[in-house]
Structure 1
Amino acid sequence: MTSTALKHPGVVLTTLSLGMLVVSLDATIVNVALPSLAAGLDGDMDNVLWVVNGYVLVNAALLVTGGRLGDVLGARRMFLVGLVGFLVASALCGVSENVTQLVLARFLQGVTGALLVPQVMTLISDIFPAERRGAAMGVMTGTIGISAMSGPVLGGLILHDWSWRWIFYINVPVCTAAIVLTLLFVPDARPANRHKFDLMGVFLVTAGLGAITYGLIEGQRYDWGQVTGVISIPAILVAGALILVAFVWWERRYPEPLLPLNLFRYRAFTVATLLNSVMYLTMYGVTLLVTLHLQSVSGHSALRTGLTYVPMALAMGIFAAVAGRLTDRTGARYLIFGGTLVLAAGFGAMAVVESATSTSTDFLLPLFVVGIGVAFIMAPATTEAMMDLPERLVAAASGVFNSSRQMMGALSIAVVGAALSTGLAHQITPEAERVARQLPPEQRARFVSELSKAVGEGGFASGQQAGPGGDAGLVQRLTHDAYSAAFAAAERPTLYMLIILLLVVAPTFLLLPRRAKAAKAATTAEAAEAMPPRQQQDPVG
């Protein structure tokens, strides 16, 4: 692609942001609607969960392919195709009459979202000059953060007054506006040369990433064991890894590979992608912990839980733009390092405030700090990842960068969920024994046994465990007290695990290049804009 003169930077950035908004929003907005979907479509929860999981699975598996299609057919064209497809898929989601139809429509959303998302980074890299690219990436990453964190809030508000179908219908006018604005304002930057499309590479990377994503998503459900017959979660994960090995072997030999492996020779891209991936893994992990705490321990509604994330979303939106501009001035390395430390501090604050009696109010300030840390990693890392790449690698890099984000979401649920479940199973018995002292002696052993069994199986015990002649109200209260104390005790070490992970990867910022030249160019450009017209035309005087 060739560099394109930018005439309407604000409108172009708004248009690209609208595309990212609907895709990011739909990754989280559906979560709070699952009970309504199960009731409205008469489906069981295992099937309804695929309304979320199917979208993530397909989207993660196809992002690399979507990036390459933009390289072959043109980023603007694929952005438009993705927008139109996402609009149609959203409408189909809204008119679905059963769970199967809705899951298939969500698959289509995942496919079209994978066509759309990689083009955004490609278009920004092509349209915006290097000295302004950080600011543009800051706006874009801020949009991703705000939309992802606002999904549960918006979903809760919609469900409060309208049908679950409007969760999907809301995308139609947004996509329509983005399509019109793209046709009017986004420059058409087509590839200079014709490229072959690596069909075998598409099959291998889609199968490999799809298998690993499926294994991570479904691992908890099958207790990391047998799925059916000889098929097990470990076998699926191993098969996915082997397929990706075959993909690498194929890519090394194909003349125009789907994913040029020399992309990873660019140190800035590799390190920035690693740091960004760890940030997403820990951020998704913390949101899982806080959501479970607020709903299962504090007993908050889905809407109140979603509103708890508003400070985090605001911090991400405001400070991502600031971090993007600072990246243009100073480079990314120290901003990313500082963001990592702030993020770890936010997690530490959560470990201090969390307890069996914590409510949403206690988490507001820590989540705001987390939002600042995320912003100072996400925006600079996105800019840094694309900075040194030649134009022929930008589309592939965008696919890899965005795919890693989706994969980290699935991996985070698996890792954090497993750590929390292990800690909870370890803590529940002593906590049950502690509260059981308030029961008659003949009921204590049964209470402890049944509560420990229920939690060990991943359930939440109820007052049904009182036994003949027992006080159901008392047992229900004691069950909640024991579970809440055990959850809080298991939550804190999980937060410490995430803090340690951040501190371990933080020093890799030293591998990022210094950007003194880029910073100087940005400063010079801003100074030139501030000069009177005559001085700009005749700097000698």
Structure 2
Amino acid sequence: MRKWHGNPWAILITLSLGFFMTLLDLTIVNIAMPSMIEQLHASLDEILWVINAYVLILAVLLITAGRLGDVRGQRTIFIFGVATFTVASLLCGISQNPTELIAARCLQGLGAAMLLPQTMAIIVATFPPQRRGAALGVWGAVAGVAAIAGPTLGGFLVSAFDWRWIFFVNLPVGVVVLIAAFTIIPSVKQERSHRLDLGGVLIATAALFCLSFALTEGQRYDWNIWIWLLGAASILLLVVFLLQQRTQQENEPLVPFSLFRDRNYTILNFIAAAVSVGMIGMFLPLTIYLQSVLGYSALKSGLVMAPMSVISMFVAPFAGRLSDRIGGKFILMGGLTLYGIGMAWIVLIAEPTTNWPAFWPALIISGLGVGCVFAPMATEAMRGIEPRMAGAASGVYNTIRQIGSVVGSAAMGAILQNQLASSLQHEANVRAGQLPAQARGPFLAGVKNAAKGGIEVGAGQSGADKSVPKNLPQEVAGQIARASKAVFDHGFVTAMKPTMALPIVVVLVAALSCLVMKRYVRQPEAQPTETVEAGA
């Protein structure tokens, strides 16, 4: 590979492969949730922590890792990140219980945090300004494809092999990226010295942990006073963090406030967080709906959502090149709007008996939207950033985007569980009258207990059939099992619709915020007058 050493496009491919792994693991886990719940004997709450642990560590350490790249060199930290991520993927795949899996996901998040901000910083350092937009467009397109490809690839792996293969698949990719990083990527270490703001790291870590724990565990603890205190503590710590960062502006803070003097960069940080809420928020309830309500396998669930991935894959490169020519403001706005419309369409038609072809028109529209989101979003965010600030800008941008993922997954989990608790009880009350008198009380108690303890989504049942007497006639037992399935199916759909309203509204608000962006005016290319005169 020596002939490829330093080649900009070979570097971009290497960075994109590493970037793809980290983002794929944000969504690929969702499709395997029912399988992991069943095989690891885990609760929904524990599996939500399998998702949130990764996102939490990633979000907390992104800015720190970006600064560390300035200190030790982006190539060095990128290589360490890929190696850590690859080893952690192996540990995830061989985990024997939820605790081991959550711990391995934390390590995986550490590796992702180290490698991810280096990708954008190395791109900015490698490509000249006139080609940087196209390169960041490819980088952004990879983000979009990874976000959507997770359910399809995950569905195939879970169905053909086992849920563990959603992690094992990272191993060959990680090895290839490591070899390419050593042989292709040159060192881009900055000459001037830097320091890490350790105080800022600690405060930000505490704030994010309090927020994520409160949102994820709220339903389990009945939203008691301690949960609300954790939420209040996260807000207080955020205020302390901003005040602390204000005092550090002359000493290389974690968040240089000067970055936000660029209006587009500021707006696009908000949009990036909103897109994360919209993407992560959509996949959680939709994945459970396809598998546990409609009864599809993991592979079929992934194939049902495949049109969105395929369409976005083809659209994204064109959106990136077009953004480099005319600017990404209205391309991004149109993409967000299309994605929101597609998701709203799915919510409207989703019922316990909806057949899969009915979803494809909505998913095609969503795929067109996703293809027009990630490339222009990355291009416009970094367009006005000076190369010397690329590391800090990349760290802040990706951190805020991942905070959106933390809030999105945690909030959606909390809202979904809260909605399920009430909708299942309502459905049980409706159907209990159709059961024999001796089964009604235990049936209702079973639904109530299942709702309080975290719904066993993988089973596709309300849990009521586990609490009725075992010595009932076979006909009555079958009647109870059918009632339990109906309670879950109708209760989940009832809970899913208002839950999915949150990401749809957030995405549409992000689309409207594009109106505030400054429109890009392409500057005419400078004529090589000096060269002509020198030649004359």
Q: What's the TM-score once normalised by structure 1's chain length?
A: 0.84
Report deviation, 1:346.
Answer: 0.5
Equivalent position of 2:244 in the other structure: 250
- CA shift in 2, pair 1:301/1:206, >3 Å: same
Equivalent position of 2:116 in the other structure: 117
Equivalent position of 2:54 in the other structure: 55
- CA shift in 2, pair 1:219/1:124, >3 Å: farther
Give the counterpart letter for 2:496 in structure 1. Answer: E
Secondary structure at 1:90's aligned position in 2? helix
Bigger shift: residues 234-243 or 75-84: 234-243
Equivalent position of 2:131 in the other structure: 132
Query: 1:81-133 deviations in whole A, cap 9, x for unaligned?
Result: 21222233334445556665554433222112101001111122222233433
- CA shift in 2, pair 1:510/1:162, >3 Å: closer
> Is 1:306 matched up with 2:311?
no
Secondary structure at 1:517's aligned position in 2? coil
Query: 1:355-388 deviations in whole A, cap 9, x for unaligned?
Result: 1212433323322322221232222111111111
Kindly, what percent of the aligned residue pairs are identical?
38
- CA shift in 2, pair 1:14/1:234, >3 Å: same
- CA shift in 2, pair 1:221/1:455, >3 Å: closer
Residues matched between the structures, number: 519
- CA shift in 2, pair 1:419/1:214, >3 Å: closer
Report deviation, 1:430.
Answer: 5.2
Equivalent position of 1:198 in the other structure: 197
Query: 1:41-62 deviations in whole A, cap 9, x for unaligned?
Result: 7878766665443322211211
- Give the Cα separation in 2 of the matches to 1:39 and 1:154: 20
**Unmatched segments (≥5 aa) in structure 2:** 456-461
Residues 256 and 392 in structure 2, CA contact (< 8 A), matched pair in contact too: yes
- Give the Cα separation in 2 of the matches to 1:416 and 1:182: 37
Equivalent position of 1:404 in the other structure: 400
Residues 251 and 259 in structure 1, CA contact (< 8 A), matched pair in contact too: yes
**Unmatched segments (≥5 aa) in structure 1:** 227-231, 529-535
Equivalent position of 2:172 in the other structure: 173
Equivalence map 1:497-536=2 (5 Å): 497-518=502-523, 521=525
- Give the Cα separation in 2 of the matches to 1:195 and 1:420: 44
Bigger shift: residues 93-102 or 67-76: 93-102
Equivalence map 1:358-397=2 (5 Å): 358-397=354-393
- Give the Cα separation in 2 of the matches to 1:505 and 1:422: 26
Secondary structure at 1:29's aligned position in 2? helix
Residues 217 and 410 in structure 1, CA contact (< 8 A), matched pair in contact too: no
Equivalence map 1:46-445=2 (5 Å): 50-94=49-93, 101-162=100-161, 166-225=165-224, 232-254=226-248, 255-428=251-424, 431-436=427-432, 438-439=434-435
- Give the Cα separation in 1 of the matches to 2:272 and 2:357: 28
- CA shift in 2, pair 1:204/1:29, >3 Å: same
Give me the CA root mean square deviation.
3.5
Report deviation, 1:162.
Answer: 4.4
- Give the Cα separation in 2 of the matches to 1:35 and 1:418: 18
- CA shift in 2, pair 1:345/1:447, >3 Å: same
Query: 1:487-534 deviations in whole A, cap 9, x for unaligned?
Result: 33333334444443333343221221111125x55xx99xx9xxxxxx
- CA shift in 2, pair 1:411/1:220, >3 Å: farther
Give the counterpart letter for 2:482 in structure 1. Answer: R
Equivalent position of 2:458 in the other structure: none
- Give the Cα separation in 2 of the matches to 1:279 and 1:321: 19
Report deviation, 1:63.
Answer: 0.9
- CA shift in 2, pair 1:220/1:69, >3 Å: farther
Q: What's the TM-score once normalised by structure 2's chain length?
A: 0.85
- Give the Cα separation in 2 of the matches to 1:419 and 1:98: 26
- Give the Cα separation in 2 of the matches to 1:104 and 1:68: 25
Query: 1:385-422 deviations in whole A, cap 9, x for unaligned?
Result: 11112233321221222222222223223333444444
Give the counterpart letter for 1:188 in structure 2. Answer: S
Give the counterpart letter for 1:242 in structure 2. Answer: L
Give the counterpart letter for 2:262 in structure 1. Answer: Y
Equivalent position of 2:10 in the other structure: 11
Query: 1:251-289 deviations in whole A, cap 9, x for unaligned?
Result: 222222122122222211110111122122122222122
